[in-house]
């Protein structure tokens, strides 16, 4: 792979709607971003819809795709571009049937090559593996570099590196991934656009 990986932003789990759209806009204005994922926990449909509306105004104006975590049935209602599924290959076919061929359907497959292959065969537009850096969350497992290397050499479906990324991991994975999904890595800093600039520089 010779092209530099693209950036895929993940929103923080709690959005302050009076501030976050401006923060998102500043990052999108400063750097080229391929996609934004609305990633809110819980099932408060009204809260999710308000956040989606606010983010969609920012992304549409900049021609950036906006997908939502897990809630396939909200995609069309909220005017979004697709869905990111957190359960590996399990829901890919159903999401594709519900949303049609043009929607983005992505699948997070943890650290499992087998699950990733199943998701790709089921029609996922991309497969995400992670955490790509060390994390104490879940069972502590980490998606190794050789998983991304094998995938990028053998499978045509784009691969996303996600979770616990720092400049060193970005540098190591840049030659073998198509996208970096960045969330807390940016939003927990005082200047998300500057933090993203540092991670982009690490790609070489």
| C-alpha of 11 from chain center | 9
> Residue 61 — φ and ψ, nearest 5°?
-65, -20
Contact 52, 43 (CB under 8 A): no
Report the distance separating Cα 182 and Cα 159, nearest Å. 14
pLDDT in the model for residue 161: 98
Q: How far is it, in rounded angstroms, from Cα 196 to Cα 123?
A: 30
Which residues, including other chains, have CB under 8 Å from residue 102's CB and lie 6 or more apart?
A: none
How far apart (Å, rounded) are the C-alpha atoms in residues 141 and 115?
A: 15
Q: What pLDDT sits at residue 156?
A: 97
List of domains in the chain = 6-202 (3.20.20.70)
pLDDT of residue 1: 43
Which pLDDT does position 131 carry in this prediction? Answer: 97
Q: Show the tokens assigned to 24.
A: 């998102």
At CA 15, angle to CA 162 and CA 63, rounded to 5? 65
Compute mean pLDDT per 10 residues along the chain, 204 residues long, and list them. 86 95 98 98 94 98 98 97 97 98 98 98 98 88 97 98 97 98 97 98 94
Listed in sequence order, the residues at least 6 apart from 11 whose beta carbon sits closer than 8 Å to its beta carbon are 20, 24, 36, 37, 38, 39, 40, 51, 55, 183, 187
């Amino acid at each position: 792979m010779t092209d530099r990986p693209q950036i895929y932003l993940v929103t923080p789990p709690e959005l302050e709607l009076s501030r976050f759209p401006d923060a998102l806009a500043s990052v999108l204005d400063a750097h080229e971003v391929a996609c934004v994922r609305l990633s809110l926990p819980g099932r408060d449909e009204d809260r999710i819809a308000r956040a989606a509306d606010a983010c969609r105004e920012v992304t549409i104006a900049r021609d950036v795709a906006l997908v939502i975590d897990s809630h396939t049935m909200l995609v069309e209602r909220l005017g979004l571009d697709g869905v990111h599924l957190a359960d590996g290959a399990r829901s890919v076919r159903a999401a594709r049937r519900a949303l049609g061929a043009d929607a983005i359907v992505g699948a997070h497959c943890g650290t499992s090559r087998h699950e990733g292959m199943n998701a790709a065969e089921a029609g996922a537009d991309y497969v995400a593996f992670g955490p790509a850096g060390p994390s104490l969350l879940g069972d502590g497992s980490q998606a190794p570099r050789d998983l991304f290397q094998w995938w990028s050499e053998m499978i045509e479906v784009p691969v996303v590196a996600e979770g616990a990324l720092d400049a060193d991991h970005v540098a190591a994975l840049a030659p073998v991934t198509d996208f970096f999904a960045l969330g807390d890595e940016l939003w927990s800093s005082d200047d998300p656009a500057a933090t993203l600039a540092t991670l982009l520089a690490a790609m070489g």
